[in-house]
Structure formats: structure tokens, C-alpha cells
């Protein structure tokens, strides 16, 4: 068992390389490489009980974990996170960490010795403490919902509400997550006590925070959730993740307005066969047209691409039409916008619901009724 000794205010600990490396990797995702504040490129190491608190922040996201250690002298340091991660690669075994004058950190391991230049830990922004009020929830349902909508989040950091995930409580025990980049919309629902934390207007979490939350939830059984001071805080034992909610700028789009009405046509496909067909035909796409074209008729549907620069291809899709009518029309879609939802859907079949050849496509799965994808067509 790790031991704690006398504190002198100068950090000195002994730690297993694999334990410290794992802890650093867990917080590295929030370290800001391009920051104008050098302290934000550092990781915070502080003795606590029988180990080290390991933390990082970019002011929007903060994460803290724990690493077992033998404490010889209590203290705290901050050193460049990525440099420390590199030094921990390779040899295994025990490492001696000792603070040296000027807030530097000396690492001694198996005859090797390195020194990292640090910054006064007093300058490190405080990481939020564990909340006093929280709701305990299962990690699985929340992780599942996030995994189904993250692909639809905009990658534009300047549009904070499209570069985010909306979380709404649609029932006292049910959450709905929504994400859109303006070309597609992903919606996922699930039962969870976390719904009791969400007010009527919902909350919006940043894209980077959503990705960190997915990583944080891996391997978790139950977690504690809280919303305090415009932050979502998640706790799992000694680990903590906190993120500022998106509250500035435009509001999240009113996605209800773009949800298709009752479909005129409905086609059912084998999910895996459809994905393979889109991949195959999509290989002929170009930068100027990244789409694939569906030709719908009363006999079913075909997927094709024809470009004099790259060639032509066609895949006949086994399908059956449920609704009335004799559709004969074509619609083009970005291949990636189809492949990403098909990859996260569950079950054998998927359904295309169509109200017209210039209207959004509603993509659903009979075995996964709590998930919807809406995709805008491309101009042909």
C-alpha cells in the first residue's frame, strides 16, 4: 500500500510509471496546446492522501483523476503535460518525482534523470470541487445517446450552438439529445434519472466536452451528475470532469421545424447491405460532388454515381415500399452523412421516409425507435 510521510511543501513522491502514464493520458485531452496562457499547457500534480491528484484545464473543460503513489513530501507542481507524457513512454518501473528550485520537476528512473521546467502551481486555475448535490445515474444509457449524435455536431468552433449538443428533458425520466451542423440532424432518447437535473429549456454542452464525456464514461458503471454555476460536473470515484455550458450567442436551432411530416414514401433496406453499397459507389465521388444518388421507383431503389472524371457505378438495393404511390425520382446525399448514422444504428433494417424529392430524408431503424437522423438532400 502507498505510504504517506512528512510534508515539507516540496513535492517528492515515488510512483509506478504505468499508473502515472495512465493518469496523464486521462487528462491530456483537455490540455490546450495552442494557448496564449502557458499554465494551461501544464498538468497539475498535487499530493493528496496516499497518492497524486492529476488535473488539467483549458478553462472551458476541467478534468481530474488520481494516481497511487508513495508520498515522501507533500506538495504541488505544474509541468508541460505533453512533455511529461513523452518522458513516461518506454521503460517501466518506479519513478522518483522531486520538485526542485524554480518550480521544476526532476524525474529519476532506472539510471536516467530528466528535469521539466514548471510554473508556480499557484497560477493554475482551480478545478471545480466535487458537487454537494448530485444525481446518480448509469453511465451506459448516457454514453449510448451521446455516441449516436456526436457525428452530427458542427466542426465550426465559431458557431457555439451548432458546435454543441443540446440535452433536453422530454419527460421526468427521459432525456433527448440533439445535434446538427445545418445539413443533418441527429436525435437520440433514453430513460435516465439525469432528466431530473435538466430545466425546461434544456442545456447545451460543447462538442469538445461531449467527446471528453464519452471517454470519461468508458468502463464506468454508475456516475454522479450535477449542474452548478453554469457547469455540468461528472464524478466517478476519484475522477471528475467539469465543463462550462454553452450560454452565449445564438440559441440552439428549433429542430422541430425541420422534422419531416407524415411520409409519402417509405423504403426499407438491410442496414449492412445499404452501408456497403454507399461505401462502394461513394468511392467514385470527388471533391466537387461527394454524394451518391438514389433512384427511387415503384420497383424499389438503385444507388448510382456517374462522373466522367472518375467513372460510373450502380448498386441495386433490395427494398420494399410500404406507402402508396408510384415514385419515380432521384435524390442525392452526402455519402458520409448516410454512413455515419448507419454505423451507430442497431438492428437489421433501416427505413427511408420521404415526403418529396427536395425534402429532407428521415432515417429510422425499427429496432432502434429512440434514434432519428434527418438529412438534407444535395442538388443534382
320-321 vs 112-116, strand pairing mode: unpaired
The Cα–Cα gap between 39 and 56 comes to 10
- Confidence band of 296 (pLDDT split at 50, 70, 90): confident
Q: Are 267 and 351 in contact (CB under 8 A)?
A: yes
- Give the three-class secondary structure for 189: strand
- Confidence band of 324 (pLDDT split at 50, 70, 90): low
The Cα–Cα gap between 354 and 260 comes to 8
Q: What is the pLDDT of residue 315?
A: 84
Q: Are 343 and 373 in contact (CB under 8 A)?
A: no
pLDDT digits (tens, 9 = 90+) for 92-102: 799 999 999 99
**128 domain-assigned:** no
Q: Cα–Cα–Cα angle for 182, 207, 24, nearest 5°?
A: 160
Q: What is the pLDDT of residue 349?
A: 93
**1 domain-assigned:** no
Structural domain count, the chain: 3
- Give the three-class secondary structure for 42: strand
**129 domain-assigned:** no
**DSSP assignment string, 216-270:** HHTT-SEEEEEEETTEEEEEETTEEEEEE---SSSPPP-GGGGS--S-SEEEEEE
Question: Which of 123, 157, 172 is the C-terminal boundary of a domain?
Answer: 123
Asked if 19 and 33 sit in the same domain, the reply is: yes
Asked if 177 and 74 sit in the same domain, the reply is: no
Q: What is the pLDDT of residue 263?
A: 86
Asked if 140 and 99 sit in the same domain, the reply is: no
The Cα–Cα gap between 322 and 329 comes to 17
Q: Are 118 and 164 in contact (CB under 8 A)?
A: no
Domain of residue 140 covers 135-255
The two counts, helices (H) then strands (E), for the chain are 6, 26
What is the average pLDDT across 19-26?
A: 96
Asked if 265 and 247 sit in the same domain, the reply is: no
**62 domain-assigned:** yes
pLDDT digits (tens, 9 = 90+) for 163-172: 999 999 999 9
Distant-in-sequence, close-in-space partners of 269: CB < 8 Å, separation ≥ 6: 301, 317, 318, 319, 349, 350, 351, 352
The CATH number assigned to the domain holding 239 equals 3.10.150.10
**7 domain-assigned:** no
164-171 vs 203-206, strand pairing mode: antiparallel
Asked if 333 and 368 sit in the same domain, the reply is: yes
Using a cut of 0.85, tell me whether the model's pTM lies above it.
yes
- Give the three-class secondary structure for 70: strand
Q: Are 178 and 189 in contact (CB under 8 A)?
A: no
* Residue that has been written with the C-alpha cell 472524371 in this structure: 309
Q: What is the pLDDT of residue 6?
A: 37
Residue 110 burial class via C-beta count within 10 angstroms: exposed 0-12, middle 13-18, buried 19 and up: exposed
- Confidence band of 49 (pLDDT split at 50, 70, 90): confident
Asked if 302 and 190 sit in the same domain, the reply is: no
Asked if 205 and 296 sit in the same domain, the reply is: no
Q: What is the pLDDT of residue 191?
A: 95
The Cα–Cα gap between 302 and 282 comes to 13
The Cα–Cα gap between 351 and 363 comes to 6
Asked if 191 and 213 sit in the same domain, the reply is: yes
Q: Cα–Cα–Cα angle for 148, 149, 155, nearest 5°?
A: 135
Percentage above 90 pLDDT, the chain: 68
- Give the three-class secondary structure for 102: coil
Per DSSP, 197 falls in state: G
CB under 8 Å, gap of 24 or more: what pairs does 296-302 form?
A: 296/265, 296/267, 296/327, 296/328, 296/329, 296/330, 296/331, 296/354, 297/326, 297/327, 297/328, 298/325, 298/326, 298/327, 298/328, 300/267, 301/267, 301/269
**3 domain-assigned:** no
**306 domain-assigned:** yes
Q: Provide the residue count of the chain.
A: 380
Asked if 115 and 185 sit in the same domain, the reply is: no
Asked if 170 and 234 sit in the same domain, the reply is: yes
**362 domain-assigned:** yes
Question: Which of 193, 224, 255 is the C-terminal boundary of a domain?
Answer: 255
Asked if 247 and 278 sit in the same domain, the reply is: no
Question: Which of 200, 231, 255 is the C-terminal boundary of a domain?
Answer: 255
Amino acid at each position: 500500500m502507498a505510504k504517506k510521510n512528512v510534508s515539507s511543501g516540496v513535492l517528492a513522491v515515488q510512483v509506478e510509471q504505468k499508473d502515472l502514464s495512465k493518469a496523464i493520458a486521462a487528462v491530456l485531452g483537455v490540455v490546450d496546446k495552442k494557448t496564449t496562457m502557458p499554465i494551461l499547457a501544464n498538468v497539475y500534480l498535487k499530493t493528496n492522501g496516499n497518492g497524486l491528484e492529476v488535473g488539467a484545464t483549458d478553462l472551458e473543460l476541467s478534468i481530474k483523476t488520481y494516481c497511487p503513489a508513495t508520498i515522501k513530501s507533500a506538495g504541488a507542481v505544474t509541468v508541460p503535460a505533453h512533455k511529461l507524457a513523452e518522458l513516461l513512454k518506454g521503460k517501466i518501473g518506479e519513478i522518483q518525482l522531486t520538485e526542485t528550485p524554480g518550480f521544476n520537476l526532476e524525474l529519476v528512473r532506472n539510471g536516467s534523470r530528466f528535469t521539466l521546467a514548471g510554473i508556480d502551481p499557484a497560477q493554475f486555475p482551480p478545478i471545480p470541487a466535487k458537487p454537494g448535490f448530485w444525481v446518480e445515474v448509469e453511465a451506459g444509457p448516457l454514453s449510448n445517446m451521446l455516441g449516436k449524435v456526436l457525428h452530427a455536431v458542427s466542426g465550426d468552433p465559431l458557431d457555439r450552438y451548432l458546435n454543441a449538443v443540446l440535452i433536453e428533458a422530454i419527460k421526468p425520466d427521459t432525456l433527448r439529445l440533439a445535434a446538427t451542423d445545418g445539413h443533418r440532424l441527429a436525435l437520440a432518447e433514453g430513460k435516465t434519472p439525469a432528466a431530473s437535473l435538466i430545466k425546461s429549456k434544456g442545456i447545451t454542452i460543447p462538442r469538445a466536452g461531449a467527446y471528453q464525456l464519452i471517454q470519461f464514461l468508458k468502463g464506468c458503471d454508475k456516475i454522479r451528475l450535477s449542474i452548478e454555476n453554469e457547469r455540468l460536473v461528472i464524478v466517478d470515484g476519484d475522477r471528475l470532469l467539469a465543463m462550462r455550458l454553452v450560454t452565449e450567442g445564438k440559441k440552439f436551432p428549433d429542430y422541430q421545424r425541420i422534422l419531416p411530416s407524415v411520409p409519402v414514401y417509405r423504403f426499407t433496406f438491410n442496414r449492412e447491405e445499404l452501408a456497403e453499397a454507399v461505401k462502394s459507389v461513394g468511392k467514385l465521388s470527388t471533391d466537387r460532388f461527394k454524394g451518391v444518388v438514389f433512384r427511387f421507383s415503384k420497383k424499389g431503389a438503385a444507388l448510382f454515381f456517374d462522373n466522367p472524371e472518375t467513372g460510373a457505378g450502380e448498386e441495386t438495393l433490395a427494398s420494399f415500399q410500404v406507402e402508396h404511390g408510384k415514385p419515380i425520382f432521384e435524390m442525392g446525399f452526402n455519402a458520409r452523412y448516410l454512413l455515419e448514422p448507419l454505423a451507430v444504428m442497431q438492428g437489421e433494417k433501416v427505413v427511408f421516409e420521404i415526403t418529396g424529392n427536395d425534402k429532407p430524408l428521415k432515417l429510422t431503424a425499427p429496432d432502434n425507435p429512440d434514434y432519428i437522423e434527418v438529412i438534407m438532400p444535395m442538388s443534382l
